[in-house]
């Protein structure tokens, strides 16, 4: 039984399940040397070009930066710095369309090159093997090295592994059709690549180095073999061309026969894999202190009439690169970033090149015909045969369409490497990979939401516990306070009792004294009551009776009646006068009291006036609102002929917006006035003005609510 190493030396490799053999079309670009491209007018450097977190931005608008100057820092472990690709001026820091299938804008630092291409100070480490692992890792992070293979995983994290590493595998397979960026890099810079591999081996402590290259790159194989030499002991492994042998798990399987466990990383089985482009970037970063600011990009496809590889500065818009390769767009021209199997269509040619963009494909319509309509699955099983991860693509497809995420997980959707082999062989043109991508994204969001829900629940429960605790504390406080009160009230009861006793005795004595005094005074006071009226009345009655007697005695003489009448009239007049006098007296008294009270009232008058003014204001506002309402209604009326609910809602919304706007304007005016009236108001007054504004807003809200309620 030959050992693993012997097998590798003899070139006996394993195979992975499935795989396809699409036309490679690499001859379009593999014979042309890597070309330089003039500086673009503006570079859009995205601050995030890797997996992980973003560092803090170090530059500001208008600042002059030198080539290789860090634009973001790498303080966090997951940060990877980005650098100025050339010297120039930071024009802007703004969101720009991103090199992501979503094309969602991402924060970019826009640099206008000054054409000098002036480097920052560099500190080359030619004797790199004398530096410690930590120093080298830190330098990689600060120089922004991330995996150039496609995922952009930070190299300093991958290389920091503490596991015992048996194999360092350099992935130079480049199995995707069309792409020749790594091929050309190996042809032109084999020494630098070998240097990078040495550094990587030094950092990871790998016992053996395997360099995997597909056998369709004979020039690259010879170049690398020559650079490796004999004494280094690196194994250059020529592999049969097959897609997707460049997948991490697939390459591990081909070279070592080992399988990366589900959910694990190659380091779990003693393997670290790096892309060949990364090895080159590592050597540049460590030896020459050149941060990762450019990369090789394959410009290919039949719409490009000078297909070739170019050195593209990171942040160069794709359109600028296309200008230098004789790009002649056809009808419905598509631009694909990445290869035809795993790439994505660019939404716009303004997308900048990032660390992970290895190819721009501009195919003609004959080359990559527009998508044909999807037909029903005929259950031929081709997809399951070619799947390199031995999944069941058609089953996955059914569940992805049914959105049955549990089933998808049980069918190991997470192990799908999205290589696109299943879509390639599908006779029904079902875009299987797209279904999986959608489903994967959905599963990811659901997991995130679940996590968030869990967090929300924890917070909710913590809050509930806190409120309960506060309540208990409050009750406890109240209880203590009442206890304290009771204990003090017992004391005070005694005191009160004592006081009352003293008082009682005192009042008793006083009362007795008063009573005595009263008793003394009473006899004199008894005469004092004013009985004159009664007496007068009695006198008058006596007089009447006498008169009556006289008249009887005289025998009802008519002459006597006038005097009788006269007396009666006089009495009546007197009574009336007395009454009048009394009334006058009373009215005088009330007038006096009124005068007293009116003095108090004058103070209130101000307030009343104010209230009145406020009411007036409120009324004015209401009227204004009604105006606005009626306006709104008028505006919407022609539209709201239909009985749509929606329209009514829209109308309501417009009204609300208008009233709000009016309120805001009023507020703004008020504020403006306040400001103009007293620009040097004391802060307190300013605050008052603010409060007034807030009150106004609150009132407006209330009014609006009432309106809404009225509507409802």
Nearest to other proteins of 113, 246 (CB atom): 246
**For other proteins, which is the closer residue by CB, 402 or 484?**
402
Measured over the CA atoms of residue 638, residue 639, residue 644 and residue 646, the dihedral's sign is: negative
In whole angstroms, how close is the CB of 50 to other proteins at the nearest point?
12
Per CB under 8 A, 698 contacts other proteins: yes
490 C-beta neighbours (distance < 10 Å), count: 9
**Given candidates 694, 706, 708, 711, which one binds other proteins under the rule CB under 8 A?**
694
Among 465, 690, 706, 711, binds other proteins (CB under 8 A): 690
For residue 156, the minimal CB distance to other proteins (Å) is 21
d(CA 433, CA 439): 10
Does residue number 369 form part of the binding site for other proteins (CB under 8 A)?
yes
- For position 424 contacting other proteins by CB under 8 A, the verdict is yes
Of 113 and 363, nearer to other proteins (C-beta) is: 363
Binding mask 75-94 for other proteins (x = CB under 8 A): --------------------
Q: Does 649 bind other proteins (CB under 8 A)?
A: no
For other proteins, the closer CB: 28 or 169: 28
Pick 287 or 666: Cβ nearer other proteins:
666
For residue 434, state whether it binds other proteins (rule: CB under 8 A).
Answer: yes
Binding mask 657-686 for other proteins (x = CB under 8 A): ---x--------------------------
Does residue 645 bind other proteins (CB under 8 A)?
no
Is 431 an interacting residue with respect to other proteins (CB under 8 A)?
Answer: yes
Bond from prior residue into 110 cis (ω within 30 degrees of 0) = no
Q: Which is nearer to other proteins, 266 or 339 (CB)?
A: 339
Our CB check for other proteins shows the closer of 457 and 518 to be 457
Which helix H or strand E contains 692, and what residues bound it? helix 683-711
Q: From residue 143, give the alpha-carbon distance in Å to each of 80, 108, 287, 292, 454.
A: 8, 18, 11, 6, 38
CB of 168 to other proteins, least distance (A): 30
Q: Select from 435, 426, 445, 443 the least CA-distant residue to 400.
A: 435
Alpha-carbon distance 354 to 46, whole Å?
A: 7
User: What is the nearest approach in angstroms of other proteins to the Cβ of residue 305?
Assistant: 19
User: Which among 144-152, 303-311, 459-467, 674-682 is the span making contact with other proteins, rule CB under 8 A?
Assistant: 459-467
Nearest to 40 by CA among 295, 292, 362, 322: 322
CB of 498 to other proteins, least distance (A): 46
Q: In what order do the strands lie in the sheet with 308-313?
A: 35-36, 308-313, 294-300, 359-361, 336-337, 344-345
Give which of 431, 429, 368, 364 is closest to 400, Cα–Cα. 431
Cβ burial 668-698 (10 Å sphere, 16+ → b, else e): eeebeebeeeeeeeeeeeeeebeeebeebee
At closest approach, how far in Å is the CB of 182 from other proteins?
20
Sheet holding 106-113, edge to edge: 43-46, 106-113, 88-96, 64-65
By CB under 8 A, residue 96 contacts other proteins? no
Cβ proximity to other proteins, 340 vs 388, nearer residue: 340
Q: Tell me if 433 contacts other proteins by CB under 8 A.
A: yes
Q: Measured between alpha carbons, how far is 702 from 700 in angstroms, rounded to an integer? A: 5
- For residues 125 and 344, which CB has a smaller minimum distance to other proteins in the complex? 344
Q: Which structure tokens are listed for 50?
A: 């890797």
Q: How far is the CB of 431 from other proteins (least distance, A)?
A: 4
Among 7, 64, 66, 100, binds other proteins (CB under 8 A): 100
Query: 275: exposed, middle or buried (C-beta count within 10 Å: 0-12, 13-18, 19+)?
Result: buried
Comparing C-alpha atoms, which of 442, 401, 434, 396 is closest to residue 415?
396
Element holding 76 (H helix, E strand): none
What DSSP element (H or E) covers 175? none
Which residues make up the interface to other proteins (CB under 8 A)?
A: 22-23, 25, 98, 100-102, 104, 106, 177, 334, 336, 340-341, 343-345, 366-372, 420, 423-424, 429, 431, 433-435, 437-438, 441-442, 444-446, 448-449, 452-457, 459-460, 462-463, 660, 690-691, 694, 697-698, 700-701
């Amino acid at each position: 039984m030959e050992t693993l190493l012997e097998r590798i030396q003899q070139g006996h490799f394993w195979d992975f399940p499935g795989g396809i053999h699409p036309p490679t079309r690499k001859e379009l670009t593999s014979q042309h040397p890597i070309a330089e491209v003039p500086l673009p007018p503006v570079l859009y450097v995205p601050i995030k070009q890797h997996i992980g977190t973003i560092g803090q931005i170090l530059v500001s608008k208008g600042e002059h930066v030198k080539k290789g100057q860090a634009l973001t820092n790498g303080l966090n472990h997951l940060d990877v710095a980005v650098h100025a690709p050339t010297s120039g001026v930071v024009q802007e820091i703004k969101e720009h369309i991103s090199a992501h299938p979503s094309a969602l804008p991402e924060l970019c630092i826009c640099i206008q090159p000054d054409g000098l291409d002036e480097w920052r100070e560099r500190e080359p480490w030619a004797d790199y093997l004398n530096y410690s692992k930590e120093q080298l890792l830190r330098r990689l992070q600060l120089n922004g090295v991330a995996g150039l293979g496609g995922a952009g995983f930070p190299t300093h994290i991958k290389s920091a592994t503490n596991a015992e590493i048996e194999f360092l595998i350099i992935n130079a397979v480049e199995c995707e059709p069309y792409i020749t960026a790594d091929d050309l890099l190996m042809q032109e810079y084999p020494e630098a690549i070998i240097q990078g591999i040495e550094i990587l081996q030094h950092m990871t402590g790998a016992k053996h180095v395997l360099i995997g290259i597909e056998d369709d790159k004979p020039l690259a194989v010879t170049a690398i073999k020559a650079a490796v030499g004999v004494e280094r002991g690196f194994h250059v492994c020529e592999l049969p061309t097959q897609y997707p042998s460049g997948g991490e798990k697939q390459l591990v399987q081909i070279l070592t026969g080992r399988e990366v466990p589900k959910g694990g990383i190659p380091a779990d089985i003693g393997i670290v894999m790096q892309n060949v482009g990364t090895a080159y970037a590592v050597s540049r970063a460590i030896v020459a202190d050149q941060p990762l600011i450019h990369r090789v990009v394959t410009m290919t496809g039949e719409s490009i009439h000078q297909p070739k590889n170019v050195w593209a500065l990171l942040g160069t818009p794709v359109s600028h690169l296309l200008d230098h390769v004789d790009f002649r767009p056809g009808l419905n021209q598509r631009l694909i970033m990445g290869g035809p199997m795993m790439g994505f269509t660019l939404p716009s040619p303004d997308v900048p090149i990032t660390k992970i963009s290895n190819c721009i494909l501009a195919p003609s319509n004959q080359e990559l015909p527009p998508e044909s309509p999807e037909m029903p699955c005929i259950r031929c099983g081709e997809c399951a045969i070619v799947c390199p991860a031995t999944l069941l693509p058609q089953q996955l497809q059914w569940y992805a369409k049914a959105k049955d995420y549990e089933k998808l997980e049980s069918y190991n959707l997470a192990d799908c490497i999205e290589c696109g082999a299943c879509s390639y062989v599908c006779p029904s043109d079902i875009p299987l990979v797209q279904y999986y991508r959608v489903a994967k994204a959905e599963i990811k969001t659901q997991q995130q939401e679940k996590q968030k829900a869990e967090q929300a629940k924890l917070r909710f429960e913590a809050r509930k516990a806190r409120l309960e605790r506060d309540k208990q504390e409050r009750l406890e406080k109240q209880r203590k306070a009442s206890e304290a009160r009771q204990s003090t009230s017992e004391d005070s009861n005694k005191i009160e009792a004592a006081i009352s006793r003293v008082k009682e005795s005192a009042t008793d004595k006083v009362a007795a004294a008063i009573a005595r005094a009263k008793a003394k005074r009473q006899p004199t006071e008894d005469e004092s009551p004013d009985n004159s009226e009664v007496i007068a009345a009695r006198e008058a009655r006596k007089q009447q009776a006498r008169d009556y007697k006289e008249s009887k005695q005289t025998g009802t003489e008519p002459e006597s009646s006038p005097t009788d009448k006269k007396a009666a009239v006089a009495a009546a007049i007197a009574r009336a006068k007395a009454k009048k006098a009394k009334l006058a007296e009373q009215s005088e008294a009330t007038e006096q009291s009124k005068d007293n009270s009116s003095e108090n009232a004058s103070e209130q008058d101000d307030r009343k006036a104010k209230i009145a003014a406020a009411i007036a204001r409120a009324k004015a506002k209401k009227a204004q609102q009604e105006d606005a309402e009626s306006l709104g209604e008028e505006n919407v009326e022609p539209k709201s002929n239909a009985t749509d609910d929606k329209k009514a809602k829209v109308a309501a919304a417009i009204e609300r917006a208008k009233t709000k706007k009016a309120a805001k304007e009023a507020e703004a005016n008020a504020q403006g006035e306040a400001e103009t009236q007293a620009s040097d108001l004391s802060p307190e007054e300013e605050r008052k003005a603010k409060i007034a504004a807030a009150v106004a807003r609150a009132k407006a809200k209330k009014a609006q609510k009432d309106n809404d309620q009225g509507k409802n």
